[in-house]
Amino acid sequence: MQTYVYLRPSAVRRGAGGSELALETSGGATPSGAGGHPRFFSGFVTAPEAAAAALLSVADVASTRYHRRLSPASLDPVVTGSGDRLRFESFSGCCGVHARLDVLAEGLDGDDIGRGTTNVDVNAPLREALVRVGPGDPLHLRIGPEELEVTTLDGPVVEKRVPLPDRWLRGFAETQVIASAFDLRAEVTAAEAVRFLRSLSRVRSGAGAALWVVPAGRGLRPTVRPVPGAVCLPGPDRLAALLRVLRHARGLRLYGPPVTAASAPTASAWEVTLPGMRLTLTLSPDPARGFSGEGAVLDALAAEDAAEDAERVSVLPAWEPRVDVVDLARRAGLTPERVRAALAVLGASGRIGYDTAEAAHFHRELPFDAGRAERHNPRLRAARALVEAGAVRAEADGTFTVVSGGEGAVHRVRVGDGGAPSCTCRWWGRYRGDRGPCRHALAVRIVRGAAASPATVRGGAR
């Protein structure tokens, strides 16, 4: 269970000089250490109505299960202060949609923006009040308690206890690795963004194969087959949260990995640009697939040198809005490739995110034990168990034999010239690496990494 403790509920409070959006904070991390109720910002929002709608979009994702809509989720969004911007993030209950609202410096007018990460209370009365925020009234935004409340916990507090699934935590790790392979594929005007996104309301998830979207003149055109330059749209109804902000949109940008005519469905990112803000939804490759099972981070977690490099790199970022890989490599005395692997390891504990708009990582510290995402990853645990049991054996032809399962099933792992593995197991036969390495390939990765290191233990694991 995750316990949120707030001094009082978040609320929109109206006064003679306008309205105040008071977002209450729970425990979090700051440059000076853990804080019970950190205070990040106090000032005005330059586009009040758009900001209110965008916050509601992030809350919509946090309270929705897009696959098997059995019961709503109730995970409060995470906010990170980076000194020059505020980032609000949430995951859907099914872990297949990640939402992030970046409120940039030009969208804020007030005190200095603090640094750190915490949860903010989003409750039903607040949602109702945000709907009523209009364009004419000034909107003062306060993130954290009043100055006098910072030093006291007297009086009643608001406490929420909600399940925090490991797969939700692993989603934070996976999305930053997956999104780092995206490039900008298309950009359209506000008018085309409105036309296209509203046209998707007639298409539902599960209606067939994934849609693909390609640039067509000044607009966008859906197609049922991938082509070079296309962006996958798996589950079009999962973009519903963007509809709240369309009246304020200035454009729409689409991000995705390179694809060919033979490509399987992929993840993608959809960014609506707003006045002084960006709202981005990242979709998993299928509505039935949460990000937690994609396995994009597993290779980095299994690499011995990446874990060591992560320890060296971890002390360098300081809630920076942009983590420059080349600069970080220079400061850490590592190659850019090793720094990227180290960032993937840090991302597994929620300490690194990725901003597709700026093609850069950013630093955050999730306000819960995100290290569980690595410790509780089933494939990684199984791979380490295979290594500890001595189940991995190198063969003379350069392949590896892995014995696993209660009946001693034998699998053969082959590592290609570029380091990419293949395996004879059922998992690999089904996904062909599309969802990361299998446990047998991971075990081989661990053994090979340990063999290159002078310090080893039984089974080849350090």
Q: Among 67-71, 133-137, 280-284, 404-408, where is mean pLDDT lowest?
A: 67-71
Distance between terminal CA atoms of the chain?
Answer: 33
In a domain, 245, yes or no: yes
* Claim to verify: residue 134 and residue 37 sit in the same structural domain: yes
Sheet holding 97-103, edge to edge: 33-35, 25-30, 115-120, 78-82, 86-91, 97-103, 277-283, 268-274, 251-256, 183-189
DSSP annotation of 223: E
* Claim to verify: residue 237 and residue 360 sit in the same structural domain: no
Look at residue 452 and tell me whether its pLDDT is greater than 60.
Answer: no
Q: What is the pLDDT of residue 370?
A: 60
Q: What is the pLDDT of residue 32?
A: 83
* Claim to verify: residue 141 and residue 39 sit in the same structural domain: yes
* Claim to verify: residue 150 and residue 72 sit in the same structural domain: yes
pLDDT category of residue 376 using cuts at 50, 70 and 90: low
Look at residue 462 and tell me whether its pLDDT is greater than 50.
Answer: no
- Give the whole-number percent of the chain exceeding pLDDT 70: 90
Position with higher pLDDT, 47 vs 200: 47
Look at residue 330 and tell me whether its pLDDT is greater than 50.
Answer: yes
Q: What is the pLDDT of residue 267?
A: 95
DSSP annotation of 359: T
Enclosing H/E stretch for 441: helix 439-451
Q: What is the pLDDT of residue 320?
A: 85
- Give the whole-number percent of the chain exceeding pLDDT 90: 53
* Claim to verify: residue 144 and residue 176 sit in the same structural domain: no
* Claim to verify: residue 393 and residue 324 sit in the same structural domain: no
Looking at the 3D structure of the chain, how many domains does it have? 4
* Claim to verify: residue 151 and residue 7 sit in the same structural domain: yes
* Claim to verify: residue 14 and residue 98 sit in the same structural domain: yes
In a domain, 167, yes or no: no
Question: Which tokens belong to 340?
Answer: 């990227």
Look at residue 147 and tell me whether its pLDDT is greater than 90.
Answer: no
Position with higher pLDDT, 289 vs 50: 50
pLDDT tens digit sequence for 119-143: 999 999 999 999 999 887 789 999 9
* Claim to verify: residue 359 and residue 223 sit in the same structural domain: no
* CATH number of 311's domain: 1.10.10.10
Q: What is the pLDDT of residue 105?
A: 95
pLDDT, mean over the chain = 86
**Of residues 9, 231, 223, 6, the one with CA closest to residue 119:** 6
Domain boundary (313, 341, 372) is at 372
In a domain, 186, yes or no: yes
Structural domain containing residue 389? 377-460
* CATH number of 243's domain: 3.10.150
pLDDT tens digit sequence for 189-237: 999 999 999 998 766 544 456 899 999 999 999 999 999 999 999 999 9
Domain boundary (162, 192, 220) is at 162
Enclosing H/E stretch for 162: strand 158-162
**Of residues 297, 354, 308, 365, the one with CA closest to residue 333:** 308
Domain boundary (272, 293, 314) is at 293
Q: What is the pLDDT of residue 58?
A: 96
Kindly report the pTM of this predicted structure. 0.87
CA distance 401 to 394: 6
Enclosing H/E stretch for 407: none
Q: What is the pLDDT of residue 433?
A: 78
pLDDT category of residue 305 using cuts at 50, 70 and 90: confident
Strands 41-45 and 139-143: antiparallel
Q: What is the pLDDT of residue 444?
A: 93
CA distance 402 to 386: 8
Compute the average pLDDT of residues 320-336.
Answer: 91
Q: What is the pLDDT of residue 451?
A: 60
In a domain, 324, yes or no: yes
Whether the CB-CB separation of 316 and 325 falls below 8 Å is answered with no
